[in-house]
Amino acid sequence: MHFITLFESLTGATTRDCIVDERWNRLIFIVKPGDMGLAIGKGGINVKRLKRMLGKNIEVVEFSEIPEEFIKHSLSPARVRSVKITNAPDGRRIAYVTIEPNDKGIAIGREGKNIARARLIAKRYFDIDHVVVV
């Protein structure tokens, strides 16, 4: 709650959630649809200020009630062509994400950091067990 209060007071953006990801030393803020610009600030000023204050990397993802849209937002700035969610025979839900070929590296991220964010968000909000970039 402390991080959400601080984030909202600095940015003016409405925050739905804050995920503390110790593995990557980051805070992932989930913001209300339409509040991304407000959250990031001109030239990324809000994100930079929070990073200095908290000593953690700050990431912002725009919320969506639609799982495919939310997964797409979580992989930004990679250009996502499509997201298809299927049920595997063993009962697991899997999201297959088709990315523009030149953006696969961006979607996965260094050491898998960005795809890990998408998996974390998909599991937390929509009980999707795995996200696969194709």
Q: In the chain, what's the furthest Cα-to-Cα distance?
A: 47
Domains along the sequence of the chain with CATH: 2-62 (3.30.300.20), 67-133 (3.30.300.20)
Residue type (1 letter), 102: N
pLDDT digits (tens, 9 = 90+) for 45-67: 999 999 999 999 999 999 999 99
Which pLDDT score, from 0 to 100, does residue 1 have? 86
Point out the residues of the chain with pLDDT beneath 50: none
CA–CA separation, 129 vs 93, rounded Å? 5
pTM: 0.94
**What is the structure's pLDDT at 52?**
97
